[in-house]
Amino acid sequence: MNNKRLKLPNGFGSITKKSGRRRKPFEIRKWIDGKQKVIGYEVTYESALAFLCEYNKNPLLFSPSEITFDELFCLVKAYLYPRIKERTQSSYNCAYKHLNRLYDKQFAKIRIGDLQSAIRDIHDNGVGYSTQKKARQVLHHMYSYAVKYEIIPPEKDISRYVDIDKDKKVYKKTIFNTRQIYKLFRA
């Protein structure tokens, strides 16, 4: 009986057996951005093939560093929104729309300057303190989720360093009330 394995489809990835006494001799590789990268090692060929199939279904589950800001927000929404009120959800969505300059960036590669410039854009658009505060809360939820699910290490949580404008309370001011005006004219 022929023990040769079938060829995998083009673009699917490859599985090779490494020589020597290894615990996981089967190396799983995939072409990513024009380079062949190792995405894992497995004990048996069958488990390596199963891993490669799962990776091809959803590659972001196995390479969290590739997740974009927008994709992470979708994950955070699925996790967080069932537990918060509808009004809070709509305010988070509104604040998230103002962070549009970050949508296509890889989440792990976002720096504090990127976050601060997104907040500055909110200020430049004439949007108030409350939206800036909600945007900072959205960032905090996203970074907490990313740390919890090991997308980034805990020391990479830079959301706490984001600065927003001070809250400016605007009170309706009257120069003089009628009693003060009467007192002025009497004197």
Considering the domain architecture, whether residues 153 and 77 belong to the same structural domain is answered as yes
In a domain, 44, yes or no: yes
CATH code of the domain covering residue 128: 1.10.150.130
Which residue stretches of the chain have pLDDT < 50? none
Whether residues 141 and 116 fall in one domain: yes
pLDDT digits (tens, 9 = 90+) for 88-129: 999 999 999 999 999 999 998 999 999 999 999 998 998 888
Q: What is the pLDDT of residue 61?
A: 64
Stated pTM of the model: 0.64
pLDDT attached to residue 120: 92
Of the candidates 34, 39, 65, which has an alpha carbon nearest to the alpha carbon of residue 51? 39
DSSP state letter for 73: H
* Burial tier of 93 (Cβ tally within 10 Å: 0-12, 13-18, 19+): middle
Asked, for residue 175, whether it belongs to a domain, the answer is no
Residues 73 and 153 in one domain: yes
Are 53 and 118 found together in one domain? no
What is the domain extent for residue 53?
Answer: 14-59
114 plus 92 within the same structural domain: yes
pLDDT at residue number 127: 86
Spatial CB neighbours of 73, under 8 Å, sequence gap ≥ 6: 96, 138, 142
Q: What's the number of domains the chain is made of?
A: 2
| pLDDT at residue number 4 | 78
